[in-house]
Chain A
Amino acid sequence: MSEESEKSKVLSGSPRITKISLIGQVSAFFRYNIHALFTSFSALWKTPFATCMTAAVLGIALSLPCVFNVIYKNIERGSAQWNGASEINLFLKKNMPEQQIQVLINKLALYDDIHLVTYISRHQALEEFKKMSGFSKSLNYLDENPFPAVLVVIPTEAGKNLAGNRLLVSKLKNEEGVDLVSVDIEWIAKLQAIVSLVVDVVIAISTLLLISVLLILSNTIRLNILNQRVKIEIFKLLGATNNYIQRPYLYAGAWYGFLGGLLAWLLTIVMVKWLQGGVSQLMSLYQIKYNILMMDAKDVVLLIIIAPLLGFVASYISVKQYLVKIEPK
């Protein structure tokens, strides 16, 4: 009755056509959809094995992108800690007088991107080396202290990131009396490049898996449509529109997606929990206590929305391809 005004165009003299109010039309629209929503679920319920198989395939296919997402989030969090060099060593020229060194220290203290400057004199450097190396007696035979004075610079948070770090290093290199600037930021760049590559690979694999979900669901719905050809023909003969007939199939796709999404969530929890043992063991070797990040509420909600949406789209593709072509004979 929601499309009553259209009907009246077709058969305007028919004795039984009555004008339906807007509320009646809206109410009929909701009734259609609620009916289709429940009948589609009931149809899936009647074939539990087939439904579980399809949901399992979707769950596995969707769980992989979810696990990748969790892994990516953890790598991102871990690598953020090594985002830049935490300290920069400035090796000063050997002949640089103490007074000039103090001027340099005062100058560096004024830098916005330097948090702290620690001075290690040539003598302190030698003594430290003696303690660490165990060659203290041998070093006594040297004519001259071979170690330069060192300024240990700790950048601020802004100076710790890769770009800020590079900028700071270039400024420090130009300071008078600085012989060598030692900072290992190349490995950070390499790590970030690897992370970026991993992200690209994950996106590519996830895209392929999502496409496979679309194809699997589309094919399942196609088989459902072909199996119910007779029923569809009868419905069309009785005056059902394509929109009316397609609704249960669209909702069935959404249900499949929803069930697959739920399963993917559970599988992701299981897989990440399983990985957690290995990660903790690895981290303990580096004396790091690392709590692995799980899917947060936002991710779960997103999954539960995207999965049925994918199912809906997959069904829509099949419905448009096959259902409209079925005509009563």
Chain B
Amino acid sequence: MILFENVSKIYDANFIALQGVNFHLKKGEMAFLTGHSGSGKSTLLKLISLMERPTTGKITLNGNDISKITGNNISYLRRHIGMIFQDHRLLMNQSVLENVGLPLLIEGYTAYEIKRRSLAALDQVGLIGKEKYSPIHLSGGEQQRIGIARAIVNKPPLLLADEPTGNLDPKLSLEILSLFESLNEMGMSVLIATHDLGLIAKMRYRTLTLKSGEMINDGLVRGGNV
């Protein structure tokens, strides 16, 4: 699914965000990405979603080299990646249903199909009945679920989550991670960036650990915060 081959990312002023990163996330696999703040977790996710470009190395997605993709192909690629953000990135002046339906609207689905699929996604994240609300009137946990529903509404083969439980209490965090587990069981590849090692330990999935831009561990980890 995702293959990183000796990928480095150096920003201006020679700030090295990632250095020589190698890993392979298989199709249908779920993994955590962990490390301190500034270790390069977000940069790695940005490289996959083409918000950033690698300085060196090669990133392959489904067998295609995405390092040099340009123009509209970037957009077409993003349609196949569900992205979940810590700050949710929702449109507060639109309803929950409209927010969730955005990826389908962009892909040109009919209004009927958008509604049908959006309600199904909201059902999956337990938000049925709140589709007409504005996200601003919902709690942080509910907003995160809207973000998840939006990310999965078009059934992407890959789900990327950047600190999806960062603002949530432990119980809600576990619920969200269980949701990711169920999505993974349906065949989605899932990569979750988080610094909550306690949570990771409970889930017992493959964990990629970054430190100062280098991958220092690839395997299971024990509990505790990084």
A interface, CB within 8 angstroms of B: 1-3, 6-7, 9-17, 28-29, 31-32, 35, 230-231, 233-244, 327-329
Residue of B nearest to A25 (CB): B108
Q: Counting CB contacts under 8 A, is B146 at the interface? A: no
Query: What is the CA–CA distance of A16 and B107 in the complex, to the nearest angstrom?
Result: 13
Residue of A nearest to B187 (CB): A15
Query: What is the CA–CA distance of A231 and B98 in the complex, to the nearest angstrom?
Result: 13
Query: What is the CA–CA distance of A28 and B108 in the complex, to the nearest angstrom?
Result: 5
Q: Is B62 in contact with A14, judged by CB distance below 8 angstroms? A: yes
Residues in chain A near residue B69, CB distance under 8 A: 10
Residues in chain A near residue B156, CB distance under 8 A: 16
Query: What is the CA–CA distance of A9 and B76 in the complex, to the nearest angstrom?
Result: 9
**19 residue pairs from A and B, CB less than 8 Å apart:** A1-B108, A2-B108, A3-B72, A6-B72, A6-B73, A9-B73, A10-B77, A11-B61, A11-B62, A11-B77, A14-B157, A17-B80, A31-B108, A31-B110, A32-B108, A230-B89, A239-B75, A239-B80, A242-B72
Residue of B nearest to A5 (CB): B76
Q: Is A12 in contact with B103, judged by CB distance below 8 angstroms? A: no
Q: Is B62 in contact with A239, judged by CB distance below 8 angstroms? A: no
Query: What is the CA–CA distance of A22 and B206 in the complex, to the nearest angstrom?
Result: 43
Q: Counting CB contacts under 8 A, is B106 at the interface? A: yes
Q: Is A10 in contact with B107, judged by CB distance below 8 angstroms? A: no
What 9 A-B pairs are tightest by C-beta distance, nearest first?
Answer: A239-B79, A28-B108, A239-B78, A7-B76, A241-B75, A1-B108, A13-B62, A240-B106, A241-B72
Q: Is B80 in contact with A10, judged by CB distance below 8 angstroms? A: yes
Q: Is A238 in contact with B80, judged by CB distance below 8 angstroms? A: no
Contact partner of A15 (CB less than 8 A), chosen from B51, B77, B157, is B157
Q: Counting CB contacts under 8 A, is B129 at the interface? A: no
Residues in chain A near residue B110, CB distance under 8 A: 31
Residues in chain A near residue B77, CB distance under 8 A: 10-11, 239
Contact partner of B63 (CB less than 8 A), chosen from A13, A238, A329, is A13
Report the minimal beta-carbon distance from A233 to chain B, rounded to whole angstroms: 8
Interface residues of B in 79-127 (CB under 8 A from A): 79-80, 83, 89-91, 102-103, 105-110
Q: Counting CB contacts under 8 A, is B225 at the interface? A: no
Residue of A nearest to B110 (CB): A31
B interface, CB within 8 angstroms of A: 49, 51, 61-64, 66, 69, 72-73, 75-80, 83, 89-91, 102-103, 105-110, 150, 154-157, 187
Q: Is A235 in contact with B102, judged by CB distance below 8 angstroms? A: yes
Report the minimal beta-carbon distance from B134 to chain A, rounded to whole angstroms: 15
Report the minimal beta-carbon distance from A256 to chain B, rounded to whole angstroms: 21
List 8 other contacts, CB 8 Å, given A234-B102, A238-B106: A1-B108, A3-B76, A14-B157, A16-B155, A234-B91, A236-B78, A241-B72, A241-B76
Q: Is A239 in contact with B91, judged by CB distance below 8 angstroms? A: no
Report the minimal beta-carbon distance from A15 to chain B, rounded to whole angstroms: 6
Residues in chain A near residue B79, CB distance under 8 A: 7, 238-239
Query: What is the CA–CA distance of A15 and B154 in the complex, to the nearest angstrom?
Result: 12
Query: What is the CA–CA distance of A14 and B188 in the complex, to the nearest angstrom?
Result: 11
Residue of B nearest to A328 (CB): B51
Residues in chain B near residue A29, CB distance under 8 A: 108
Q: Is B102 in contact with A238, judged by CB distance below 8 angstroms? A: yes
* Best-buried of B63, B76, B91, B108 by chain A (most CB within 10 Å): B108
Report the minimal beta-carbon distance from B188 to chain A, rounded to whole angstroms: 10
Q: Is A6 in contact with B76, judged by CB distance below 8 angstroms? A: yes
Residue of A nearest to B72 (CB): A241
* Best-buried of B51, B72, B103 by chain A (most CB within 10 Å): B72
* Best-buried of B64, B76, B78, B110 by chain A (most CB within 10 Å): B76
Query: What is the CA–CA distance of A29 and B103 in the complex, to the nearest angstrom?
Result: 16
Residue of A nearest to B51 (CB): A328
Report the minimal beta-carbon distance from B155 to chain A, rounded to whole angstroms: 5
Residues in chain A near residue B61, CB distance under 8 A: 11
Report the minimal beta-carbon distance from A4 to chain B, rounded to whole angstroms: 9
Q: Provided the pairs A31-B110, A235-B102, A329-B51 are in contact, do residues A12 and B76 lie with their beta carbons within 8 angstroms?
A: no
Query: What is the CA–CA distance of A28 and B76 in the complex, to the nearest angstrom?
Result: 15
Report the minimal beta-carbon distance from B109 to chain A, rounded to whole angstroms: 8
Query: What is the CA–CA distance of A14 and B75 in the complex, to the nearest angstrom?
Result: 15
Contact partner of B106 (CB less than 8 A), chosen from A13, A15, A230, A235, is A235
Contact partner of B107 (CB less than 8 A), chosen from A1, A13, A230, is A1
Residues in chain A near residue B107, CB distance under 8 A: 1, 239
